[in-house]
Amino acid sequence: MRFDVLTLFPGMFRGYLGESLLQKAIEAKLVDVRLHDYRQWTDDKHHRVDDRPFGGGPGMVIKVQPVVDCFEQVEREADEPGELILLTPQGRTLDQPLVERLARQPRLTLLCGRYEGFDERVTEILRPTEISIGDYILNGGEVAAMVLIDAVIRLIPGVLGDEQSSRDDSFSTESRWLEFPQYTRPREYRGHEVPDVLLSGDHPAIARWREEQSRQRTQQRRADLLSRPAENQQDGPSTDGLHHPQKNNPS
């Protein structure tokens, strides 16, 4: 899957892109992330990419021309069209069904802006899908773009070592319960013991315990997930919208 990221701060992505999971996916050619700097597209002699807002007010607004020109050049050089996404607090909130839809695209182009935003003509001309990552304000779209990339690439077959693990995660459309608690060695630490059932070797009992833990946690912490209607079920085997942890467990 190919991502083109248009940003004023390409350097913000380099640390993230060089880290383990993503770096392996890039080396394996499962993921290709290309960074593009709006600043290289400005046609103004001072290389300005932002300017004061018409009508006055604080902050600076990203100019329309560098963004549109940068986008059009990226599209001309690409083999196939991609979905264009603008990261903005005004967008639809990113959730797992949206992540799953995006993961089925062959290419995504991500426009990152600063908080004060783009000249409105960017959205009028390019008609992007506008996406927010939650109800709080970031200084710019770069961190949001990394969140989106991170959530999408882990659904690409082969990116995670174990494909089951992304399907069973909380919030996927197959599994809408929170995760059950996990333990590893040692069996006892500072008086805190691993629940006996996990050491029993009784796999049906372990599956029942985990399901009950997931159900209780979801009820206590995120009861809203239990009442939410199931979305996007056409490509999953589950039709009732609930997690069935034991169905994939060895028993």
Looking at the Cβ atoms of 137 and 188, the one nearer to ligand 6GU is: 137
- Of the candidates 37, 31, 1, the one whose C-alpha atom is nearest the C-alpha of residue 16 is 31
The answer to whether the beta carbons of residues 78 and 107 sit under 8 Å apart is yes
Residue 2 belongs to what H/E stretch?
A: strand 2-7
The answer to whether the beta carbons of residues 105 and 80 sit under 8 Å apart is no
Is 169 tagged catalytic?
Answer: yes
From the candidates 154, 168, 174, 176, which is the catalytic residue? 154
Give min distance, CB of 138 to ligand 6GU, in A.
4
Looking at the Cβ atoms of 74 and 131, the one nearer to ligand 6GU is: 131
Looking at the Cβ atoms of 62 and 87, the one nearer to ligand 6GU is: 87
> Per DSSP, which regions of 15-150 are E strands?
32-37, 50-51, 61-62, 83-93, 107-112, 129-132
- Of the candidates 97, 67, 96, 71, the one whose C-alpha atom is nearest the C-alpha of residue 82 is 71
Is 89 tagged catalytic?
Answer: yes
Is 127 tagged catalytic?
Answer: no
N-to-C CA span, the chain: 36
Interaction site with ligand 6GU (CB under 6 A): 87-89, 115, 132-134, 136-138, 140-141, 144
From the candidates 4, 50, 66, 89, which is the catalytic residue? 89
Is 235 tagged catalytic?
Answer: no
From the candidates 169, 179, 211, 231, which is the catalytic residue? 169
From the candidates 69, 75, 95, 116, which is the catalytic residue? 116
Looking at the Cβ atoms of 140 and 236, the one nearer to ligand 6GU is: 140
- Which are the catalytic amino acids? 89, 116, 154, 169
